[in-house]
Amino acid sequence: DADVTQTPRNRITKTGKRIMLECSQTKGHDRMYWYRQDPGLGLRLIYYSFDVKDINKGEISDGYSVSRQAQAKFSLSLESAIPNQTALYFCATSDAGNQPQHFGDGTRLSIL
Amino acid sequence: GQNIDQPTEMTATEGAIVQINCTYQTSGFNGLFWYQQHAGEAPTFLSYNVLDGLEEKGRFSSFLSRSKGYSYLLLKELQMKDSASYLCAVTEAGSYQLTFGKGTKLSVIP
């Protein structure tokens, strides 16, 4: 079983719809992150959380919200999806300190 | 803020050595990571440098010069499976957020 699991793996939806992407981990890490990846732009941080009650905005948080329901779960929501949110989304986790991040397999999201 | 530069694409021959460079400007430096990402897959951790010098891990080595804001990833004895994107990422002092470069797509040819 994967240590960092993202659901769904693929999603196609329409403009204006509310979307939730889920991430769960079995690594026991406190820190969780959401990134999006676009061709030519690399990975960009959307939100991150260092603990259950801790939520922080990343570089590109506008249009997104997150919820850290438990240490193992971190979900990303698009309240009203728009086409330029079409991207590959990754969840990642890490231990405290300057430790490497471990990524889920990604969610490919297409908004028509 | 941080600015990270790496070449967009590189091509190298199977069995050869390739060096992928990364330069960065940051207001406070707390470490540099290299990740490998095969097309359509998740990034996977390769190496971490926080002090100047060379870190070696099998066929892969990573070098850091903090005074020059410069790192490179060295891949030896290239194999076809090394065809992937290589991502340089920097953490800023006090935040532990990772800022990624746009990645270098390496193609290994026979």
Whether the pLDDT of residue A60 is over 90: the answer is yes
The residues on B that touch A, with CB distances below 8 Å, are 30-31, 33, 40-45, 48, 50, 87, 89, 91, 96-103
Spatial distance between the Cα atoms of A102 and B42, rounded to a whole number of angstroms: 9
- Residues 6 or more apart from B45 whose CB is under 8 A from it? A100, A101, A102, B33, B34, B35
Percentage of chain B exceeding pLDDT 90: 85
Query: How sure is the predictor about A44, in pLDDT bands with cuts at 50, 70 and 90?
Result: very high
Closest CA to B29 of B56, B48, B8: B48
Q: Span A4-23, mean pLDDT? A: 97
CA distance A25 to A68: 12
Report CA-CA distances (Å) from B25 to A40, A74, B4, B5: 20, 31, 7, 9
Average pLDDT over residues B83-110: 92
Q: Hey, what amino acid is at B94?
A: G
At residue A108, the pLDDT reads 97
pLDDT band at residue A83 under the 50/70/90 scheme? very high
B31 is written with which tokens?
A: 């470490």
Please name the member of B31, B50, B100 whose beta carbon is closest to the beta carbon of A43: B100
pLDDT digits (tens, 9 = 90+) for B32-44: 999 999 998 999 9
Does residue B1 surpass a pLDDT of 70?
no
**Which tokens is B26 given?**
């940051």
| Both structure tokens of A44 | 């960009």
pLDDT tens-digit readout, B15-69: 999 999 999 998 888 899 999 999 989 999 999 999 999 999 999 999 999 999 9
**Residue environment code for B82-106, b if the CB has 16+ CB neighbours within 10 A, otherwise e:** bbbbbbbbbbbeeebbbbbbbbbbb
3-state secondary structure of A83: helix
Q: Which residue of A has its CA nearest to B29?
A: A98
| CA B63/CA A110 separation, integer angstroms | 38
User: pLDDT band at A1, cuts 50/70/90?
Assistant: low
Tell me the mean pLDDT in the region A58-75.
Answer: 95
Q: What was the pLDDT predicted at B97?
A: 82
Chain B interface includes A39 (CB < 8 A): no
Mean pLDDT of chain A: 94
